[in-house]
Amino acid sequence: MNAVQYSKILAEYVTKLEYGDLSKEVVEKAKMHLLDTMGNMLGAHSMSWSKMVVDIVRKTGGVPQSTVMGVEGMYPVIMAALANGTMAHGIDADDSGARPSWAHPGSCII
């Protein structure tokens, strides 16, 4: 299979998934990851780099679609994702994936 097929399989699975299909353990783990990411966002909210990105997001303008944590107003989804992702990884205390990637999936996914 190529990457497009993997993406399609994942997308089909996610669109059909219902909350009731999830085990208690999965729900609890997801909640912990969400709280962890939000805590990191809160911790990075006042950092200079977060303020710079939020300033750019505000100045860019565009269609009001999504929120930025701790910032009044609505912003284009791509710009809100930039600001929220910056804050989620801003204090470098976010989750780490398993080897070999050592990625930080929470700041990308949430």
Query: From the first residue on, what is the mean pLDDT of each consecutive set of 10 residues in the chain (110 residues)?
Result: 76 94 94 89 93 96 95 96 91 65 68
pLDDT at residue number 26? 92
**Tell me, what amino acid is at 98?**
A
Sequence-separated (6 or more) residues with CB below 8 Å from residue 81? 66
pLDDT at residue number 19? 95
In whole angstroms, what is the distance from residue 69 CA to residue 1 CA? 38
Domain ranges for the chain = 3-109
In whole angstroms, what is the distance from residue 73 CA to residue 58 CA? 9
In whole angstroms, what is the distance from residue 24 CA to residue 12 CA? 22
